[in-house]
Amino acid sequence: MPASPLTDETWPGLPLLQCNMDPGLYELYVDTPMLVFRDDVGSRVETADGEGHCVEFRQAPLRFDLFARGVRMNAVSDRVATISLVVALPPGWLPADDEGVAGRFGLRSLYQFADNDLKRLVRRLTACHRSGEPLGSEYSEAISRTLVDRVVRLQLAADARQPDSAGLDLQAREWLETFVDANLQEPPAAAAMAAALGMGVVRFSRAFKMTFSATPHQYIQARRLKRARELLCRTDAPLTTIALDTGFASHAHFSAVFRATTGLTPSSYRRVAAE
């Protein structure tokens, strides 16, 4: 995006940029989630939603556009020097995903929405920057944290308003089963699986649980243990080898999880299975 930084590395808050678009066609790629706001009419934008459907809109005044990481779009500016404020939302500012990995919350694109609380926070943050932080850096950081929290809450509220689905379709289920089983040593994060299916993390996690009656983490753990039981019964591989082949951090970790689930240590399970 043709945006110029308004802040530098000494600024303690969310990065602020100004997007100046002269008349023309712009092919843009979003590598960091960003919130775009403007006071007047802006560009015409064409992009795709999370399910691959074409989305077209004209940027209206006093409306927000939240662009998720990885979005590609065409923007047509037919006005002289249309200006937008851009608030970048780097991973370091985002909360954890459903597996507890910090900064991995899956923001999803949301276009042309209004929110008075978010508007007040953006205006406070920009005013704080313009005035040289009269209330100190902690205030700027606090506004930024509150702004991120508001964006996340808006997405969660939008997800909650969606009717529950019947879960994942057969093709998605079969793909996930194969994908997880092929990557037990380095299991994929929920965000990666959601992105591969073109879904937001919250929606994906809900559909996943309805389909498999487990969270992604619980499902991956169950598949690891299933593979481990098969290896214990069918091979003479050392327990350390089985632990690493099924994605556990160590022999001790494997033994603790296995015993908590089956009531037997891996060695005991192997002996019982051989009888």
- pLDDT tens digits, 69-125: 888 888 888 777 678 999 999 999 998 766 666 667 878 888 999 999 999 999 999
State residue 52's pLDDT score.
62
What dihedral angle (degrees, nearest 10) is formed by the CA atoms of 42, 47, 50, 52?
Answer: 150
Q: Is the pTM of this model over 0.75?
A: no
Low-confidence ranges of the chain (pLDDT < 50): none
State residue 198's pLDDT score.
80
State residue 244's pLDDT score.
93
State residue 103's pLDDT score.
63
Cβ atoms within 10 A of the Cβ of 92, count?
Answer: 7
The DSSP-derived string for 207-222 is HHHHHHSS-HHHHHHH
The number of residues making up the chain comes to 275
State residue 51's pLDDT score.
59
- pLDDT tens digits, 157-174: 876 666 555 688 888 899
Give the integer Cα–Cα distance in Å for 174 and 189: 17
State residue 39's pLDDT score.
86
Contact between residue 170 and residue 78 where contact means Cβ atoms under 8 Å apart: no
DSSP state of 197: T
